[in-house]
Structure 1
Amino acid sequence: MRLYHSAGSPFARAVRVALRETALLPRVEELEATLRDPASRLLPHNPVGRVPTLVLPDGTALTETVLILDHLDTLGAPHRLLPPAGPARWRAQAALGRVIGLLDGIAVWNRELRRVPEERSPAVLALEEARANRVADALEAEAEAWALAGPPDAPRIVLGCVLGYAERRHRVWSWRQGRPKLAAWWETIAARPSFTDTVPPLSGI
């Protein structure tokens, strides 16, 4: 299998962290791809041009983070990312949906900030900042429930990547302010080798 990724993408980082936490990394070749590039080596496999893209041995390309994480659970790893069918799975999927939603909103916020100032939408910026703070406040209140008890599952991996993105590539968001429990949680997960091995580059935002 081949995983096409970008070093700055938190969506791709979640898959890269998961590969390390499940001990599946030796079965996958990680290939960094350029984005928004008509010559990108990713495009023959995924014409949409987005990462992560996991190319399976039969040539099938999986192109969404949640879909890829779900697929990894079919490969016989000793550590599952999501529980099998049942109430625990629905709860985990609900938590995963929340943090993916947080990441989607931050991505919109970040892209808006990358526009020249006169083209930015104050309404979009205000909406996404409010959304991010609302979700982060809920996570602060639930911090004990997110505590690690062994290798992280899919929701915790994605949340760690969201906050890592805010630390390195969306620093305009002061997510730690007023959220000491969430900050302490992130410090713990960020120290794991799977996270230290996939730290994204710093951005100017």
Structure 2
Amino acid sequence: MRLFFSSGSPFARAVRVALRETGLLPRVEEVETTLRDPRSSLLPHNPVGRVPTLVLADGTALTETALILPFLDTLGGACRLLPPGDLRALADLGRVLGTMDGMAVWNRELRRPAAERSPGVIALEAVRTNRAADALEAEAASGGWALDEPPDAPRIALGCLLGYAERRHRAWTWREGRPALSAWFDAIAARPSFAATIPPVSGI
């Protein structure tokens, strides 16, 4: 199997972390690729051109973090990412990935030339992202999101969301007023799986 990824993508990073936490990495070749590029090495396998894309032995290409993480659970790894029947885990994963998607939209707007940015989109996604982060802070402060050993899919995704904010979306001062979430992130970021997949710093 081959996993196509971009080092700056939090969606792809979540799968890369999961491969390391489950012990499945030796069975998968990681292939860094370019995005929004007509010459991307990903396009012959996935014309959508999105990462992460996991190409199976028969050529089937799975796209989207929300699909790949449950698939990894079928491969007999060292731990499960989404325990069967755990609706809370599914709900948490969906909420984190939804927040990640909104932050990515916000980030893309900030990367446009100033005259092409949509203030309305930026304001909407900033409010949405902060609202979600405030809810996560309240949950972490009351004992929620305790770190499993190893972390499950929602916790991996949340670590990647905050890691993206830390290094790729620094326009958002997410730590301000969120001490519990900050401490939570510092703990999960110290895991070897996260240390091995740190995204490059962006100018945003």
Q: TM-score, normalised by structure 2?
A: 0.98
Alignment partner of 1:119 out of 112, 116, 120: 116
Q: CA deviation at 1:112?
A: 0.4
Report what 1:62 is aligned to.
Answer: 62
CA distance in 1, matches of 2:63, 2:49: 9
In the alignment, structure 1 residue 204 sits paired with structure 2 residue 195: no
Alignment of 1:145-164 (within 5 A): 145-164=144-163
Structure 1: distance between partners of 2:100 and 2:50: 15
Write the deviation string for residues 156-180 of structure 1: whole angstroms up to 9, x where unpaired: 0000000000000000001000000
- Aligned with 2:75: secondary structure? coil
Where does residue 7 of structure 2 map in the other structure? 7
Counterpart mapping for 1:1-205 below 5 A: 1-84=1-84, 86=85, 89-143=86-140, 144-205=143-204
Question: C-alpha distance in 2, partners of 1:16/1:146?
Answer: 21
Percent identity (aligned): 75
CA RMSD of aligned residues (A): 0.6
Q: Secondary structure at the match of 1:183?
A: helix
Letter in 2 for 1:54: L
How far off is 1:119 after superposition? 1.1
1:138-192 Cα shifts (integer Å, max 9, x gaps)? 0001012101131110000000000000000000001000000000000000000
1:36 shift after superposition: 1.1
TM-superposed deviation, 1:45:
0.3
- Partner amino acid for 1:190? A
Q: Report how far residue 38 of structure 1 moved.
A: 1.0
Secondary structure of the structure 2 residue equivalent to 1:145: coil
Q: Distance in 2 between matches of 1:82 and 1:14?
A: 13
Structure 2 unaligned spans of 5+? none
Question: What is the aligned length?
Answer: 202
